[in-house]
Amino acid sequence: MVFYNLVILFSLLMVITSARRFGVHGLSMIYYGMRCPLAENIVRDTVNNALQSDPTLAAGLLRMHFHDCFIEGCDGSVLLDSTKDNTAEKDSPANLSLRGYEIIDDAKQQIENQCPGVVSCADILAMAARDAVFWAGGPVYDIPTGRKDGRRSKIEDTRNLPAPFFNSSELITMFGQHGFSVQEMVVLSGAHTLGVARCSSFKNRLTKFDSTHDTDPALDSGFAAKLSKTCTAGDNAEAPFDETRNSFDNAYFNALQKKAGLLTSDQTLFASARTRNIVNSYAMNEAKFFFEFQQAMVKMGLLDVKEGKAGEVRLDCRKIN
Ligand code: HEM
Ligand SMILES: *[C@@H]1O[C@H](CO)[C@@H](O)[C@H](O)[C@H]1NC(C)=O
Ligand SMILES: *[C@@H]1O[C@H](CO)[C@@H](O)[C@H](O)[C@H]1NC(C)=O
C-alpha cells in the first residue's frame, strides 16, 4: 500500500514536471473533476466489462493510443472514419489490425449521456489505454486530461509509424524525433508484452532472410521453426509476442534474451549493444519496467496535444463535428 502510494506520488510529480517540459498548460489531473466527474469511472467500467469478455482487446486499446499519439499528436485522429473525400489513418495498411474501436464508441456514448460535448475522444482513448494496462496486471497511474480532438486524419500520415523491420538505430532516430530517449523507446516497446503480430509482419525473418542466411540469425532456431509452422496458415495467422499475451509483465524482455523476439524491431533491442543493457535490466526487474513504462506512457500521452481552438470535442469519435 505504502509502495503504491509512493508510486502514485512520484508519477504525479513526474507528470507535473514533464507537462512543464512540454509546454502543455491546459492539461490537468482534475480537468473533468467539475465538468464531468464520472468520466474516468465510465471509461474504466466500460473497459473492464469489454476486457472481461475479450481479454485480447487490452492490446488493441494500448496500440491504438500509440498510433494516435505518433500521428498528428494524441488527438483521436486514429478514430476517424474515412469519408467520400478523405482516406483516414485507419484505412492505411499500417493500421494492421487495430482493434477496440467499439469500446471507445461505447464509453463515448455513455459519457455523452452524462455530460454532452465535454469529454474528448482523445482523452477517452488515453484513459482506456491506461485502464487496459492496469486490467492486464500492469502499473496503475494517473494521466492528465484536457486534450482536444483533431480534424485531420490522412492515410499518408501513417508513414510516421515505425516499421516492424526497423533496426535499433532506425528506432532510436524515429522515437528521438518525438522527443524520446533510447531508454524510453525500449520501455515503450515493452508494450509488446501484450498481444500478437500477424505473419505478414515477421515472415521476412523466416525464409530468404538475406544473401547469406535463410532465417534471421538473431532468431532462435527452435522458435523460428515454430513460427514457420504457424505461418503455413497464411499471412493473417497470429503469433503472440511472449508466452503471456494477455498479461502485462516483463516476459517480453525475457523472450528477447532467449532470441525469441517476434519482430525485427523487438529482437534488435537485445541484439544491439546500445539497448541490450536496458533490456536486461527490465528482464531482471519487473518493478523497474513498470515504473519507467508508466512515466514514458504519460509522456507519450502528451505528444503534440491540441488545446483550445486548435481542436474540438467531437460528438461522435468517428466523425469531425
Ligand atoms: C518500437 C517500435 C514499434 C514497432 C515497429 C511496432 C510494430 C508493431 C507491429 C508490426 C505489430 C503487429 C501488427 C500486426 O501484425 O497485426 C504491433 C502490435 C502491437 N503493438 Fe507495436 N510497435 C512498436 C511500438 C509500440 C508501442 C510504443 C506500443 C504502445 C505503447 C505498441 C503496442 C502494440 C501492441 C499492444 C500490439 C499488439 C496488438 C494486438 O494484439 O492487437 N507498439 N506493433
Ligand atoms: C485497415 O485498413 C484496411 C485497408 O488497408 C481496411 O480494409 C481495414 O478495414 C482497416 N481496418 C480497420 C480496423 O479499420
Ligand atoms: C540500420 O538500418 C539502416 C538502414 O537500412 C542502415 O543504414 C544501418 O547501418 C543499420 N544499422 C545497424 C546498426 O544495423
DSSP per position, 101-167: HHHHHHHHHHHHHHSTTTS-HHHHHHHHHHHHHHHTT-------B-PBBPS---GGGGGGSPPTT--
Ligand 1 within 6 A of CB of 303: no
The residue nearest atom 6 of ligand 2, judged by CA position, is 91
Q: In angstroms, what is the span from residue 200 Cα to ligand 2's centroid? A: 15
pLDDT, one tens digit per residue, over 276-288 is 999 999 999 999 9
Is 105 annotated as belonging to a binding site?
A: no
Active site residue 25: no
Residue ranges matching CATH 1.10.420.10 in the chain: 168-295
pTM assigned to the model: 0.92
The domain made up of 2-161+302-310 is a member of CATH 1.10.520.10? yes
Residue ranges matching CATH 1.10.520.10 in the chain: 2-161+302-310
Ligand 1 within 6 A of CB of 195: yes
Q: In angstroms, what is the span from residue 165 Cα to ligand 3's centroid? A: 11
Q: Pick the catalytic residue from 65, 67, 178, 213.
A: 67
Average pLDDT, the chain: 92
pLDDT, one tens digit per residue, over 220-252 is 999 999 999 999 999 999 999 999 999 999 999
pLDDT, one tens digit per residue, over 153-191 is 999 888 889 999 999 999 999 999 999 999 999 999 999
CATH architecture group of domain 168-295: Orthogonal Bundle (1.10)
Q: What integer is the mean pLDDT of 254-259?
A: 98
CA distances to 59, 168, 204, 236, 301 from 198, in Å: 14, 21, 12, 5, 26
pLDDT at 75 over 80: yes
Check if the beta carbon of residue 158 is closer than 8 Å to that of residue 87: no
Cell, residue 164: 516492424
Residue 93's pLDDT band (boundaries 50, 70, 90)? confident
pLDDT, one tens digit per residue, over 4-53 is 554 554 554 454 444 444 445 579 998 999 999 999 999 999 999 999 99
The DSSP symbol for 80 reads P
